[in-house]
């Protein structure tokens, strides 16, 4: 989606793709399940593959920001844990360890292409404050001007609600980040086929190729 609500309204799929291609800034969100293996640990090859694709986008002249989950999965791998901890304090500690490892993996791939990863940890509430909102936008804009690729994540070490779920969900944060940037497109990478008209597990659920109108229903 773009940060202009009217940009995709009533357009054909080909027009939607053109709007996406014309966006100067891409905010890419990737969830934990797209970065982990069957055991729930970080898949280093998958992370490197994603990083290479971001580099390719950057090489096309796009400004790229990544909203990346995966801190807990990364920490599990570093600590040799076979299952996700159930208590909050341990989850937050594992996330703190994993976040450092996760950014190192991205930085290693970026460095091979003379790019730098910039770690930005946020809580959604910070973007509700006007002063903090402007500070975050200015920092992200400057990082892009310097040629870095910001790696943004919910601050799992302090964000309680994020860690109570089986896997963290940065969708809302990614949408807020896209709203910060000028002429941006939000791309959500997922292990499901797309946006459904109802619960994907419900009989008859269908993938929506285009959302032409957003309302309360």
Q: Can you tell me the distance from the alpha carbon of 159 to that of 188, in angstroms, rounded to the nearest whole number?
A: 21
pLDDT reported for residue 12? 55
pLDDT reported for residue 7? 38
Helices vs. strands in the chain: H and E counts, helices first: 7, 5
Q: Can you tell me the distance from the alpha carbon of 52 to that of 141, in angstroms, rounded to the nearest whole number?
A: 22
pLDDT reported for residue 192? 79
pLDDT reported for residue 169? 62
Q: What is the value of pTM for the model shown? A: 0.81
pLDDT reported for residue 6? 36
Chosen CATH of 21-189 out of 3.40.1160.10, 3.40.50.2300, 2.40.160.60, 3.40.190.150: 3.40.1160.10
Beta bridge partners of 121: 153
Residue closest to 189 by CA, chosen among 2, 74, 33, 61: 33
Residue 79 CB partners (closer than 8 Å, separation 6+):
94, 97
pLDDT reported for residue 193? 76
pLDDT reported for residue 128? 80
Let me know: does 168 contact 156? Beta carbons within 8 Å. yes
Q: What is the pLDDT along the chain (217 residues), one digit of tens a residue?
A: 334 433 334 455 566 677 778 899 999 999 888 998 888 888 989 999 999 999 999 999 999 999 998 888 999 999 999 888 888 889 889 989 999 999 999 999 999 999 999 999 887 677 788 898 899 999 999 999 999 999 998 876 665 555 444 324 678 889 889 999 989 999 988 877 778 888 888 898 998 877 777 776 5
Query: Where do the domains of the chain lie?
Result: 21-189
Residue closest to 98 by CA, chosen among 54, 47, 143: 47
Residue closest to 102 by CA, chosen among 79, 58, 124, 69: 69
């Amino acid at each position: 989606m773009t940060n202009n609500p009217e940009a995709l309204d009533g357009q054909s799929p080909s027009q939607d793709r053109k709007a996406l291609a014309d966006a100067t800034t891409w905010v890419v969100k990737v969830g934990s399940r797209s970065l982990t293996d069957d055991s729930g640990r970080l898949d280093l090859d998958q992370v490197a593959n994603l990083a290479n694709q971001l580099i390719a986008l950057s090489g096309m002249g796009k400004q790229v920001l990544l909203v990346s989950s995966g801190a807990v999965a990364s920490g599990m791998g570093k600590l040799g844990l076979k299952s996700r901890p159930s208590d909050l304090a341990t989850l937050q500690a594992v996330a703190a360890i994993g976040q450092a490892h996760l950014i190192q993996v991205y930085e290693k791939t970026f460095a091979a292409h003379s790019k730098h990863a910039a770690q930005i940890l946020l809580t959604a509430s910070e973007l509700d404050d006007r002063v903090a909102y402007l500070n975050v936008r200015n920092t992200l804009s400057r990082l892009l001007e310097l040629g870095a690729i910001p790696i943004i994540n919910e601050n799992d070490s302090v964000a309680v609600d994020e860690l109570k779920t089986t896997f963290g969900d940065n969708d809302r944060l990614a949408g807020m980040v896209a709203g910060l940037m000028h002429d941006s497109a939000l791309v959500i990478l997922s292990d499901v086929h797309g946006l459904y008209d109802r619960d994907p597990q419900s009989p008859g659920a269908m993938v929506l190729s285009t959302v032409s109108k957003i309302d309360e229903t």
